[in-house]
Amino acid sequence: MHLPGPAREALHRRMAGAVRPGGRLLVVGHHPSDLETSVGRPNIPDMLFTPEQVAAVLDAAEWAILVSAGALA
């Protein structure tokens, strides 16, 4: 789900809070660099995000954060 920054951060916090202990939260989205590709995307940079932005809203003491970046074919 692509939302503007503050709404996206609130959503990620709520989603993380809904995961039971030992569970997993998978967040998939588009990186801001996607705007530089030839694939048509709406030019709304605030709707795109980096893994670091997602990790910043999670409590690092409670989460093991794994990042895999790359395009899916």
Which pLDDT score is estimated for 73? 47
Task: Name the DSSP class of 52.
Answer: H
pTM score, whole prediction: 0.78
Domain that holds residue 6: 1-20+27-68
32 in any annotated domain = yes
Domain count, the chain: 1
Q: What single letter denotes the amino acid at residue 15?
A: M
The residue among 34, 53, 52, 54 whose CA lies nearest residue 44 is 34
CB-CB contact of 8 with 2 (8 Å): yes
14 in any annotated domain = yes
Residue pLDDT tens, the chain, 73 long: 789 999 999 999 999 999 999 999 999 888 888 888 877 777 788 888 998 999 999 998 899 988 876 655 4
